[in-house]
Structure 1
Amino acid sequence: MSSPTVPTRVVLLAGPSGSGKSSLAARTGLPVLRLDDFYKEGDDPTLPLVAGSSDVDWDSVRSWDADAAVAAVEELCRTGRTTVPVYSIATSSRVDTEALDIQRTPLFLAEGIFAADIVARCQELGVLADALCLRGRPSTTFRRRLLRDLREGRKSVAFLLRRGWRLMRAERAIVGRQTALGAYPCAKAEALGRITAAAAGRCVKPRTEKAARTESSSSPAATSHT
Structure 2
Amino acid sequence: MSSHPPIPTRVVLLCGPSGSGKSLLAAHSGLPVLRLDDFYKEGDDPTLPQVLGSSDIDWDHPDSWDADTAVAAIERLCRTGRTTVPVYDLSLSARTGEEPVDIGRTPLFIAEGIFAAEIITRCRELGVLADALCLSRGPVKTFRRRFLRDLKEGRKSVPFLLRRGWRLMRAERSIVARQAALGAHACDKKEALGRLAAAAAGRRPAADPTPTP
Shorter-chain TM-score bucket reads over 0.9
Aligned equivalents of 2:103, 2:17: Cα separation in 1: 26
Q: Contact conserved, 2:132 with 2:209, CA < 8 A, in 1?
A: no
Aligned equivalents of 2:7, 2:31: Cα separation in 1: 16
Aligned equivalents of 1:158, 1:108: Cα separation in 2: 36
Amino acid at match of 1:208: T
How high is the TM-score relative to the length of structure 1? 0.90
Deviations, residues 106-151 of structure 1 (Å, cap 9, x unaligned): 0000000000000000000000000000011100000000000000
- Partner in structure 2 of residue 90 of structure 1: 91
- Partner in structure 1 of residue 202 of structure 2: 201
Amino acid at match of 2:80: T
SS of 2:57's partner is coil
- Partner in structure 1 of residue 28 of structure 2: 27
Deviations, residues 161-217 of structure 1 (Å, cap 9, x unaligned): 00000000000000000000000000000000000000011122523212xx6xxxx
Amino acid at match of 1:123: R
Q: Contact conserved, 1:13 with 1:131, CA < 8 A, in 2?
A: yes
Q: Contact conserved, 2:23 with 2:112, CA < 8 A, in 1?
A: yes
In structure 2, the gaps of 5 or more residues are: none
Amino acid at match of 1:92: S
- Partner in structure 2 of residue 218 of structure 1: none
Amino acid at match of 1:145: R
- Partner in structure 2 of residue 47 of structure 1: 48
The count of aligned residue pairs is 208
Quote the sequence identity (%). Answer: 73
Amino acid at match of 2:23: S
- Partner in structure 2 of residue 13 of structure 1: 14
- Partner in structure 2 of residue 80 of structure 1: 81
Q: 1:5 to 1:209 in 2, by over 3 A?
A: closer
Q: Output the aligned Cα RMSD.
A: 1.2
Q: Contact conserved, 1:39 with 1:87, CA < 8 A, in 2?
A: yes
Q: Contact conserved, 1:48 with 1:56, CA < 8 A, in 2?
A: yes
SS of 1:209's partner is coil
How high is the TM-score relative to the length of structure 2? 0.95
Q: Contact conserved, 1:6 with 1:106, CA < 8 A, in 2?
A: no
Amino acid at match of 2:74: V
Aligned equivalents of 2:105, 2:10: Cα separation in 1: 10
Are 2:145 and 1:144 aligned? yes
